Structure 1
Amino acid sequence: MKLKTFNKPTLIVIAGPTAVGKTKFCLNLAKKYQTSIISADSRQFYRELKIGTAAPTEQELQTVPHYFIAHLSIHDYYSTSRFEQDVLQLLPSLFQQNQVVIMTGGSGLYLDTVCHGIDELPDPDPEIRQYVIALYEKKGIEELRKQLRILDYDYYQKVDIANYKRLMRAIEVSLQTGMPYSKFLQQKRKKRDFEIEKYCLVRPREILFERINRRVDEMMENNLLQEAKQLHPYKKLNALNTVGYKELFQYIEGQITLEEAINNIKVNTRRYAKRQLNWFKRDPNYQYIDLAANEF
């Protein structure tokens, strides 16, 4: 990636699948531009999730200013709309210091929210949320599908009906507002007062999968299991319904062996990487950088 000179405030977006090498790439890029990094990795928002999210090390955080790393607790409510608001409030002060700011992460929805905006959705009502959670825990995902068909058939026809979290959110909003969830999803892009350049880091599939497997092994060596044991009492929190922790929770509960848990983490992380890449491919504005051929 050739360094450019920017005459207008510009947000450089560095996307890519998990384990591709975003952290190292962005650290080098930030040093060259002498600028800051905004993290759009939704798993790294939570301070309790250190090992399993491959968050930047303390040394890396001291090298370059970072924002939105470990700024929340797993007990805090946070959403894409709040992230959008927080980043847009921060950017003017960062652009006063430098014409270039870097934003990076593998959470495509969070990246898109800052770049294009998100439809305004109400914060969840705690009582309604608990009702929907209880509905899922007692009757399973099929009941969620049934309820969504009744509340918002248009959205039911579009949503991934295997994704229980999306089903739950749609039901919550529909019940809370008395309006179909799909009415809030108009997909109107918002105009930003800064330029945006998008890059997606990639590697050959076999190399990426090898890096994923190796990183999981390194996480286990760095006491990921101990971290999971400490977090196990809070396993029902939304922040912990993520790869690396939910598999170890199954081991802790005696459902599978440790070897099976580790293998499942590797398999599920590889699947997650595929989904990330599919998300980024939908946006024609991304320029691709093959790190296997262009180590930065």
Structure 2
Amino acid sequence: MSKTLIVILGPTGVGKTDLSISIAKHYKTEISSSDSRQVYREMRIGTAVPEPEQLAAIKHHFIHTHSIHDYFSSWECEKQTLQLLEKLFLEKDQVLLVGGSMMYIDAVCNGIDEIPSIDPELRKVVFEKYKQEGLESMRMQLKQLDPVFYNQVDLKNAKRVIHAVEICLMAGKPYSKLRTNSRKERSFDIVKIGLNRDREELYDRINRRVDVMIKEGLIAEAKSVFEYRQYNSLNTVGYKELFEHFEGIISLEKAIELIKRNSRRYAKRQLSWFRRDEEIHWFHPDQKNEIIQFLEERISNSN
């Protein structure tokens, strides 16, 4: 019998957690998270990690397994998730991959080029240079190290430019030489279920979820990691806005307003990304029975 990875994806706040737990129960299986922030144990409230009773109902993987001090990229996600799936598929015919992080889902489903892990000391050196000399200096270094990628990257995106410089220095060769963009074969079938709601409904859920996060203690959580705000893991909606508040740049009221706005914008970007993938089958999160029926038919036809 062939093995199937059921991917449940969709924008932030759409309702992936409840539905994925129902489907995991139906198939008596486990969930591998593909959320690039829920993996960090210091970021519980701001990343809407499943509630303790939800985590107890179904075994989840890659939830609070790493620290913000650890390096965890889409390449690490691919490698570690495939290792997990190899073990789970020994006992399970179906496993769920659940999340909204576009690059992580792509990495597991299609593969990603083998980019080296960045040594923490090198990362520190590069970031110090960026702080002292600014983005233009990093652009010039990238142009020297990898003129091909320099002409492809968004030069206004400091995170992308800095990361490309790190990779060039770590690998000892241009980043563009490491990128093949070829799809890798997988030993299991993949079925992608996309979840979406009416835009007004989705945005209302996002706004209300931010209010709940504030009540649950997001401000204190952000304060607890404020000293590490330069970390890439903390360049995240919900934290970066509060960091600006702590620095005296904006009021708390403004920070909360921006968290809501930026969360809505992130959801819009997620949907734009996912809509390019013709393999995704779209449903409303309330269509649990229809989704299970669709999965049953797909799995039956592949065996």
TM (norm. structure 2) is: 0.91
Distance 2:197 2:225 in 1: 33
Equivalent position of 1:271 in the other structure: 265
Q: Alpha-carbon deviation of 1:38?
A: 0.4
Equivalent position of 2:18 in the other structure: 24
- Give unmatched runs, 5+ long, in structure 1: 1-6
Equivalent position of 2:176 in the other structure: 182
Equivalent of 1:128, from 122, 130, 143? 122
Q: Which amino acid aligns with 2:16?
A: K
* Equivalent residues of 2:16, 2:285 under 8 A apart: no
* Equivalent residues of 2:245, 2:255 under 8 A apart: yes
1:43-58 equivalent positions in 2, closer than 5 A? 43-58=37-52
Q: Alpha-carbon deviation of 1:19?
A: 0.3
- How many correspondences in the alignment? 289
Does residue 220 (structure 1) correspond to residue 214 (structure 2)? The answer is yes
SS in 2 for 1:236: coil
Q: Which amino acid aligns with 1:166?
A: R
Structure 1 residues 10-19 or 204-213, which shifts more? Answer: 204-213
Equivalent of 2:63, from 46, 50, 69? 69
Equivalent position of 1:4 in the other structure: none
Equivalent position of 1:230 in the other structure: 224
1:115-154 alpha-carbon deviations (Å, 9 max, x no partner)? 1111111221334322221122123323322322232222
Does residue 116 (structure 1) correspond to residue 103 (structure 2)? The answer is no
1:146-295 equivalent positions in 2, closer than 5 A? 146-291=140-285, 294=287
- Give unmatched runs, 5+ long, in structure 2: 290-303
Q: Alpha-carbon deviation of 1:274?
A: 1.4
Q: Which amino acid aligns with 2:229?
A: K
SS in 1 for 2:90: helix
1:60-119 alpha-carbon deviations (Å, 9 max, x no partner)? 000011001000111112222222121111112212222100001111111111111111
Q: Alpha-carbon deviation of 1:214?
A: 0.6
1:187-223 alpha-carbon deviations (Å, 9 max, x no partner)? 1211111111111111111111111111001100111
SS in 1 for 2:195: strand
Equivalent position of 2:2 in the other structure: 8
Structure 1 residues 161-170 or 20-29, which shifts more? Answer: 161-170
SS in 1 for 2:249: coil
Q: Alpha-carbon deviation of 1:295?
A: 5.6
Equivalent position of 1:137 in the other structure: 131
1:224-248 alpha-carbon deviations (Å, 9 max, x no partner)? 1111111212222221111101111
Structure 1 residues 156-165 or 50-59, which shifts more? Answer: 156-165
Distance 2:86 2:168 in 1: 35
Q: Alpha-carbon deviation of 1:177?
A: 3.0
TM (norm. structure 1) is: 0.93
Equivalent position of 1:3 in the other structure: none
1:39-64 alpha-carbon deviations (Å, 9 max, x no partner)? 00010001110000000011100001
Distance 2:107 2:283 in 1: 22
SS in 2 for 1:96: coil
Equivalent of 1:94, from 84, 88, 93? 88
Structure 1 residues 245-254 or 216-225, which shifts more? Answer: 245-254
Q: Which amino acid aligns with 1:32?
A: H
Distance 2:267 2:98 in 1: 15
Distance 1:176 1:97 in 2: 39
